[in-house]
Structure 1
Amino acid sequence: MKYLTCSQILQHDQLSPCRKDGLILLTTRSIFLFLTLFYTVSAWAEVVHVVTTDFPPYSYERNGNAGGMATEIVEQALKKAGLDYDLKVFTWSRAYHTAVHEKNTLIFSIARSAERENLFQWVAKVAPYRIRLYKLASRDDIRIQSLQDARHYIVGGEYSDIKQAYLIKQGFEAGKNILLVAKDELNIRKLFAGRIDLIPFNEFSLPIMLNKEGHNLSELQPVLDLEEISYDLYVAFNKETPETSVQALRDAMHRLRISGQIAKIQDRYLDHRTVSLPSDVGSKPPAD
């Protein structure tokens, strides 16, 4: 390897450091590689703070360890992207608030809506999401064919959740015919206790949440599909996160998808059986 003197380096690179009384020990190529590495590491040096919620099969926390379908996908992508991270499982409202307001925060699994579009840097889809309105199978008095019918009943919702935001936009009133809680499983308990009449729930997570509460899917009956909010869930960064981190994770998610790894993880978790809506769902809501 040929080394250059200070004067030779200065002729080729006016910004190169040198000592007055000797040969420099770095070649111009070494300096270039060092600076490239320095700026790359600097861009990614900050830890990505990942937040999610207890939302089986997508994410959950058991014995201090995070798991779930989306958790596996996101962690594999972060490692493939070379991003250091920590991961915390919060209530949804806390996770959402953190992701909106704190730099370098990544949130999953989050529904992408017009209201949220400019609040985040959207990375990639991570999981399917299908919302249906459910009642107790034993409640023959509840008869629904439309959301207008559903407004005659009490619905359970969750703070900062896409489902409650949609229902309020459709004419439901918080504190009147939609009652909000911090965690969705509380609505399952309230439904079986007779304190609410209906719950909007993701069909992929509902069987797991029911089992957790000591119930099974046969005890509920779907009465209405909420197609307008049934779409894929996403991974998203806080708006102030450096673009280098965002793009690195996008690229990693893309590589996982085209390799088939995301599909393999999803197939291990998702039960693709669905519960059909009965053809004779009632035709008339109760009078006001």
Structure 2
Amino acid sequence: MTAVRFRGWLCLLLVCCLPTQLLAQPQPQPLHLYTEEYPPINFSLNGQPTGLATEMVRAIMRRTGQNAPISLVPWARGYQLALTRPNTGLFVTMRTPERERLFKWVGPLTRNVTSFYALRSSGLSIDRLEQAREADEIAVPRDWYSHQRLLAEGFSNLTPVTGPSQVVSMLKRGRVKLMVLDNLSLSALLVQGDIRAEEVQLLFTLMYSDSYIAFSAQTDAALIRLWQRELDGMKADGSFAAIYRKWLPHEPLPDRVEP
């Protein structure tokens, strides 16, 4: 028997001698992270993910010794992956009653105020949901928390689009007269959409919400505890505040994160 054949036979013998339970044991799935174009919280720069939440997530991974890829995808796709794939995280995700049992949560990262907006030149005067429900088409990002909330409120005049930048584009082109977005992303999105801030009018506020990293329900609970502990540590040692002020220098820190 040649040396090569002997080594092959020996490897086969060792595998056959392993306990059946060990051979059948599934290998843990690697961690996958997804985000979307939502400046300045998370977005792409020169093809790479960046932004406030992206820096937070990378800092947590450094502290935990992990190194998972971060993929930028349309929100609806990332949301579906986080719903169905084990060890999958999606950020940032607004934590709402409708989503509470669908995910495991690490956060909060930001506090957002979501409102109805229109161009001042439209002359619209809407200050409550009942009026908005009877208005012309309203642009919202597909499967966002705001889209889900308005559907639950009985809105049938929604125009869901791929992401927040498309919402602004539709408003600028006159495709819609109303849009629903949040305060933290509005300024960056208006710059991208070539709309001056003074051209846009806040009509009324829809909701307040906190953003989190949402992990699929099948994700190991130990990973959730580890990430939450490290995020809490960042809030205690001031590193959270440093990242937040870098990206949102004119916004107050969320409650209970001051070092």
User: Aligned match of 2:190 in 169, 190, 210?
Assistant: 210
Structure number having the greater helix percentage: 2
The answer to whether the 8 A contact 2:167-2:179 is kept is yes
User: Aligned match of 1:130 in 105, 108, 113?
Assistant: 113
Structure number with larger C-alpha Rg: 1
Q: Give the TM-score, by structure 2 length.
A: 0.83
Q: How does 1:215-254 map to 2 (within 5 A)?
A: 215-227=195-207, 230-254=208-232
User: Aligned match of 2:176 in 196, 200, 222?
Assistant: 196
Measured in 2, the distance between the counterparts of 1:188 and 1:91 equals: 16
Partner of 2:45: 62
SS at the partner of 2:78? helix
1:105 is displaced (CA, Å) by: 0.5
The answer to whether the 8 A contact 2:172-2:193 is kept is no
Q: CA distance change for structure 1 residues 61 and 171 in 2, over 3 Å: closer, same or farther?
A: same
Give the residue type in structure 2 aligned to 1:117.
E
Structure 2 unaligned regions, length at least 5: 1-26, 253-259
The answer to whether the 8 A contact 1:204-1:271 is kept is no
Measured in 2, the distance between the counterparts of 1:181 and 1:52 equals: 16
Aligned residues: 227
The answer to whether the 8 A contact 1:52-1:88 is kept is yes
Partner of 1:24: none
In the alignment, is residue 84 of structure 1 matched against residue 67 of structure 2? Answer: yes
In the alignment, is residue 257 of structure 1 matched against residue 211 of structure 2? Answer: no
Deviates more, 1:123-132 or 1:94-103: 123-132
Measured in 2, the distance between the counterparts of 1:238 and 1:107 equals: 8
- Measured against aligned partners, the alpha-carbon deviations of 1:128-152 in whole angstroms (never above 9, x if no partner) come to 2111110001111x11121111122
Report the aligned-residue RMSD.
2.0
Measured in 2, the distance between the counterparts of 1:215 and 1:192 equals: 7
Measured in 1, the distance between the counterparts of 2:229 and 2:65 equals: 11
Measured in 1, the distance between the counterparts of 2:107 and 2:186 equals: 24
The answer to whether the 8 A contact 1:47-1:83 is kept is no
Q: Give the TM-score, by structure 1 length.
A: 0.75
User: Aligned match of 1:93 in 76, 94, 97?
Assistant: 76
The answer to whether the 8 A contact 1:128-1:231 is kept is yes
Partner of 2:126: 144
Measured in 2, the distance between the counterparts of 1:83 and 1:244 equals: 14
Give the residue type in structure 2 aligned to 1:191.
L
- Measured against aligned partners, the alpha-carbon deviations of 1:226-249 in whole angstroms (never above 9, x if no partner) come to 13xx12101121111112222211
In the alignment, is residue 181 of structure 1 matched against residue 161 of structure 2? Answer: yes
1:213 is displaced (CA, Å) by: 1.6
Measured in 1, the distance between the counterparts of 2:183 and 2:113 equals: 6
- Measured against aligned partners, the alpha-carbon deviations of 1:46-100 in whole angstroms (never above 9, x if no partner) come to 4310111110111001222110001101110112112231110111111111111
1:118 is displaced (CA, Å) by: 1.0
The answer to whether the 8 A contact 1:83-1:245 is kept is no
Give the residue type in structure 2 aligned to 1:171.
G
Give the residue type in structure 1 aligned to 2:242.
K
1:271 is displaced (CA, Å) by: 4.9
Aligned residues: percent identity? Answer: 26
The answer to whether the 8 A contact 1:81-1:251 is kept is no
